[in-house]
Amino acid sequence: MSTVSKKMCLVGDFGVGKTSLIRRFVDRQFSDQYLSTVGVKISRKNVELEQAGQPAKKNLQLLIWDLEGHTKFKAIAPSYLQGASGAIVVADMTRPETVENLAERIQLVLSVNPKAAVIVALNKADLVEEEKLAKLAQSVQFTEKQRVIAIYTTSAKTGKDVDEMFQKLAQKMVEVT
Amino acid sequence: MALSKENQGDMNRAGDQLPDSADSREGSAEQLEQLVELLADLLGADSTQASPLTLTSHSNGSNGKAGGHAAGIDGLKLPPVGAEPAQEHPRTEPVGLPQEDAPVAGHRQGLFQPPKPVAPPFEPPFEPPFEPPFEPPFEPLLEPPFEHPPTEPMGLPQEDAAVAGHRQGLFPPPKPVAPPFEPPFEPPFKPPFEPPFEHPPTEPVGRLEELTAAEGDSEELSPPAQPSEPAPESPPTVPVGRLEELTAVEGDSEELSPPAQPSEPALESPPTEPVGLEVFHTGVGGTSSSTVQPPQSAPAENTLASNDNLEALIAAIEKLPILPPPRPMRQEKAAELPLSQEKENERIAAFDNFPPALLELPQSLGMPAEESRLLPDNLGVANTEFESLPIVREQPQMPVRPSEQSQVPVGSAEEDGGNAVERLQNLIFGSVVSDFERVKKLLLDSELPGVRHLLATIEHKLGNLEHQIYDPNELIKLLLPWIADILSLKVADSKQEVVRAIVPIIDEVIKGRSLEDKAAMSAAIADLIPAAISRQISNSPREIAKAIGPEIGAAIREQIRLDREEIVSTLAPAMGSAIKEQINLERDAMVDALYPVIGSTISKYLAEAIQSINKKIETAFSPQGISRKIRAKIMGVSEGELILSESMPYLVQAVFLIHKGSGLVIAEAQRSDSLRLESEMVAGMLTAIRSFVNDCIVQSGEIAELDQIDYGGAKIVLEVAGYCYLAIVIKGDPPKTLIGKLRDTLGTIVLKYGKAIEAFDGDPDTVPPAVPKLLEALMEIAAKENKAKAPTALLGFGLGILGLMLVWGIAQYRSGIDRRIAQSAATALAEAPELAVYRLTVDAEGGTLKLAGKLPNQELRSQAEKIAKIAAPGVKLENKIIAVDVPPDPVLVAGEVKRLTAVLNKMESVTISTQLNERTVTVGGTVSERLDAEKIAAALKQIPGVQSVVSAVEINPLAISSRIYFDPGSDTLSPAYQETIVKIKEFLNRYPQKSLRIVGHSDTTGTPAQNQELALARASEVRDALVRQGIDARRLIVAGSANPPADVESSQPLLLSRCVRFEVID
């Protein structure tokens, strides 16, 4: 069976952990060292998806576009978002301003790709207490909430919900198309 | 009479105490000593007591009474050495013979009655320190072996002949009379020497005739302490317990405490055989008392008198404490007591069944053959003597010193009694036979086949030991198991000594072993070599390097010879890095090293290229050549460049059809023989780059696309359509034709499969199958074109080089022309005094003369332009001179002044010098007219930068300095001076108001009158010449002087005197 390729983008403010999430998912690694992404970095990961009613799994090649989070690069982000079947909008739970910018990011993604599947990742969950995690997840507000498939509280450091998130999005990306 | 339990116990104790080794010998010696004491006492008793020697119960611990006994001992008369052997005592019925009559049995039993109830206090026997048994060298007995004549069994007339014969078979004949008593000798330990087995001497054991006169004291008899020396030089073949010499003893119910029987079960009768003593049964009908009969024949009354004492002695001997045996075996054997007839029979049977080998052992030890076999036949002599002897309970191995050995003589009853005493004496007080021999003899005389068996066993073992010790092979076998331990002990004890002993030869050992088995040695040290080398490397790496270094080359050569590929694969990975590093360290050295190779390679390449170019040039006028020329013109490149570019090979590595929006690969085609590119990653990054460029670099409103990305020798050509774009990865320089084909392919795809391309979502199944085929076809076309152009590549390269050279040549020519134009203009400007002092630059480029610089005013600027035009006619002039107030350069001013001075001095009759000082020129010299001075001043003042001129010129009248010279004696004007005439004419014409005096001179030769006349003629000649030039003669005055001119000295040549000079007059 041939492998289907899909483009997936990670967007969010700088330093929220986009690159770390990708690295955790693709390379199974994590590093505390912060290296700001310049421009865009493309990673690739093959996943297997369960198919309803079919015993065989579907092979999906994810092309993950890691977009720079700095504001000055915001203007060219739409170009990178083109053709994306899915997007993960990432925020840092320890920085409320990144959570506040989620709505804008989601809006941007959907404006370029109206049919794209969007997941919100509240990252750095390992730095937040359990009690606050749930509260914060519930308090996230954005207008396009109905377009968001799921909200995950993730930790690239511990790997919490990282694989599940990517798997979920990949599944949705295939279903949408 | 069966032994009482008490007696049995005593017997047991005696048997238990029978040692089987050196300590047993010591014990037996001790016991013998005690016995001696007892006997001594007995001998000291009232001789009227013609009673048998009575042995009362004695104390085992009677060793201390040896002294008391000594007197008794002294009183003992022992049979002298060499005495006749004691006669054989009448035999008693051996134990266990089924044919034995009841009275005999009862009599026998009566001999071995249980001891009296009074039990001596037990004292632990003295146990001398253990010393290895000593077996002194064999000393042959002085007496020949005694061969007892067969006799009737003593006291047993009714004994069956079979029994007697059987007894004879059981008991060998006794030895001859024992030598005098000798104290036990305890020499230092020597390895036990097992002399050849010999029949024990048939000496009577324990001659006790001296004891017949002794009272039957209940002296305590304790066996003397046996020394530790073992036994027997020649174990006596006296059967244990031969007591036929004691047959004259009445059978009182003496108490006999039988010695303990350690091993064999005691027989029912007689149970109480004393240790080491011969117990003789009394005659038939006697009581059950046992008596000890002296072995030798003695006076009957003494014999009879001592019989009781003897019995008592025997009983006491039987009660002698025996040292506890070390072996538990004895305990077991002791448990087998009491004696029983059956067991006795068993022992006899066992003795009968003695292993032949063991029986033959004595022979191997040197015994006479007839005596070497411990068979009843060999024992026949003794058996005849001891037929009637009861069989004593078998004793365990008890080495006996051969110091004493007694024989049991055979004789009448009285003689038997005396013999028994003798034998006992011999036994106790020493004979030439060792203790062991005595005991053995006693045991043998006592007709204890079991004891004999034990003795035989002892002999056998001793024989074995001797064999092992003296036979080298056996000795080796004996010592072999211990050698390792000995060495270990030695090493542990004194390691250095062992080391010192081994070190001198260790190299030889290694060498020898290596020669012997190289493989084994190699295997042994193989494991050590790597560690040793590692250690040495860590300790002293230089030494290792020195050792290995010289051979590394040889090793590599060898390895190359064996397996070249191995060396190549080993060194190859490091070659690149090594070269790189070397380049970093010594670049020049690498260049020098590679230069010959690179140069040759390039030369070869160029040669081929030029050859190709030449070929192309040859076809220059072909249609292809013409079209190429036209194309070159159109492209704006030289034909050579075009040829070169068309000749260079290129390689299409991959073609990707990429979705414009997502960057996903729709279709791809890659070469199979090159590295496969990651299509998705390439496509993604290309899309990102395109997006970046479009967003950041391209101006808004401008439509532009990224067409190409160059990297090194390769490039990625992008051809963008609506929803997709083609990216072709090319190595080399692709021709335009390829780009054209690329566009054609993309156009076809978009035209036919545009919708599918637009809707592409990443699923390759949705891509039309024709699309990948189109990409592959594109690659094939590129490959074909590349192959077709291959031969002309080099030709194009060569042509290109030539074209470049041509262009360069033209440029050089043009630049030469320009240089000349500029130089001429610059010269002209420099020659203009008013411009010379200003720095002006003159350049010519592309046919245009360019003037640049600064002049103080427009007039000078105009003048410069004019001069330049004059100098370079027909050239476009570009005057960029700036009119500014620029002070003249002092240097240039001074130069201009100097130049002008030189020019003015060229004037006629002007000789001036100038000096510039702060913009003031001072003029000196002479001029002919005042007007000239004024002109000079005016000219100098015109120099820019000269502010004032100070004239110090002297005005000198005109003077014609020219002179006309004549030949000697001649007044003919030479035509050479015609020019001078003309100049004078011109001067006169210039100055019309001036007249001229023409003065002729001559030299001093001739007379004055002649000289005078000649001088005048010369002047007239010049005048006439001038007149002919049109000068009025009235203006010419002639004069002559016979003297030379005033300024010509006499030393000067005469020619100078033969001249005409001119003076200007008003």
Report the complex ipTM: 0.81
Query: Which residue's entry shows tokens 């006997």?
Result: B39
Give A-chain residues touching B696 at CB under 8 angstroms: 76
Shortest CA gap B772–chain A (Å): 15
Give B-chain residues touching A2 at CB under 8 angstroms: 763-765
Residue among A2, A7, A76 minimizing CB distance to B691: A76
Q: Is B722 on the interface with A (CB under 8 A)?
A: no
Q: Does B694 sit within 8 Å of A5, measured CB to CB?
A: no
Residue among A3, A80, A85 minimizing CB distance to B688: A80
- The percent of residues in chain B predicted with pLDDT above 70, rounded, is 55
Q: How far apart are CA B905 and CA B899, in angstroms?
A: 10
Q: Does B694 sit within 8 Å of A44, measured CB to CB?
A: no
Tokens describing residue B708:
């190409």
B77-92 residue pLDDT tens: 444 444 444 444 444 4
DSSP character at residue B484: H
- Of B279, B297, B277, the C-alpha closest to B288 is B279
CB burial string B236-266: b at 16+ within 10 A, e below: bbbbbbbbbbbbbbbbbbbbbbbbbbbbbbb
Residues B356-368, mean pLDDT to the nearest whole number: 46
Q: Does A76 sit within 8 Å of B659, measured CB to CB?
A: no
DSSP character at residue B279: -
Residue among B663, B681, B696 minimizing CB distance to A7: B663
Residue among B680, B694, B696 minimizing CB distance to A63: B680
B173-204 residue pLDDT tens: 444 444 545 555 555 555 455 554 444 444 44
Q: What is the pLDDT of residue B261?
A: 44
Tokens describing residue B971:
């007044």
Q: Mapping DSSP to helix (H, G, I), strand (E, B) and coil, where does residue B1025 land?
A: helix
Q: Mapping DSSP to helix (H, G, I), strand (E, B) and coil, where does residue A54 land?
A: strand
For residue B400, the cross-strand partners are: none
B98-131 residue pLDDT tens: 444 444 444 444 444 444 445 454 555 555 555 5
Tokens describing residue B702:
């401008």
Give A-chain residues touching B681 at CB under 8 angstroms: 42, 44
Question: Are the C-beta atoms of residues B290 and B317 closer than 8 Å to each other?
Answer: no
Q: Does A44 sit within 8 Å of B665, measured CB to CB?
A: no
pTM of the model: 0.34
If one compares B327 and A97, the residue with the highest pLDDT of the two is A97
Residue among B659, B694, B764 minimizing CB distance to A79: B694
Question: Are the C-beta atoms of residues B60 and B234 closer than 8 Å to each other?
Answer: no
CB burial string B453-483: b at 16+ within 10 A, e below: bbbbbbbbbbbebbbbbeeeeeeeeeeeeee
**Peptide bond preceding B338 in cis form (omega within 30 of 0):** yes
Q: Is B765 on the interface with A (CB under 8 A)?
A: yes
Q: Which residues contact B153 (CB under 8 A, 6 or more apart)?
A: B90, B91, B92, B93, B159, B163, B164, B167, B244, B387, B388
Residues of B (690-709) whose Cβ lies below 8 Å from A? 691-692, 694-696
Average per-residue pLDDT for chain B: 69
Using CA coordinates, name the residue in chain B closest to A81: B662
Q: How far apart are CA B360 and CA B1004, in angstroms?
A: 181
Q: What is the pLDDT of residue B294?
A: 42
DSSP character at residue B155: T
Element (H, E) at B728: strand B724-731
B936-963 residue pLDDT tens: 888 888 888 888 899 888 876 667 778 9
Using CA coordinates, name the residue in chain A closest to B684: A42
Shortest CA gap A136–chain B (Å): 34
Q: Is B174 on the interface with A (CB under 8 A)?
A: no
Give A-chain residues touching B688 at CB under 8 angstroms: 39-40, 42, 65, 80
B173: how many CB neighbours lie within 10 A of its CB? Answer: 37
Radius of gyration over alpha carbons of chain B, in Å? 80
Element (H, E) at B750: helix B736-758
Q: Which residues contact B1047 (CB under 8 A, 6 or more apart)?
A: none
- Chain A residues contacting B, CB < 8 Å? 2-7, 39-40, 42, 44, 61, 63, 65, 75-76, 79-80, 82-85, 177
Residues A1-13, mean pLDDT to the nearest whole number: 86
Q: Does B684 sit within 8 Å of A65, measured CB to CB?
A: yes
The Cα-based distances of B942 to B706, B736, B864, B893 in angstroms read 70, 70, 16, 11
Q: Mapping DSSP to helix (H, G, I), strand (E, B) and coil, where does residue B884 land?
A: coil
B1039-1049 residue pLDDT tens: 999 888 888 88
DSSP character at residue A35: -
Residues B825-844, mean pLDDT to the nearest whole number: 84
Q: What is the pLDDT of residue B429?
A: 55
Q: What is the pLDDT of residue B419?
A: 60
If one compares B436 and A114, the residue with the highest pLDDT of the two is A114
pLDDT classification of B972: cutoffs 50, 70, 90: very high
pLDDT classification of B572: cutoffs 50, 70, 90: confident
Question: Are the C-beta atoms of residues B133 and B369 closer than 8 Å to each other?
Answer: no
Angle at B148 between CA B142 and CA B153, to 5 degrees: 150
Residue among A6, A44, A76 minimizing CB distance to B762: A6
Residue among A6, A40, A44 minimizing CB distance to B688: A40
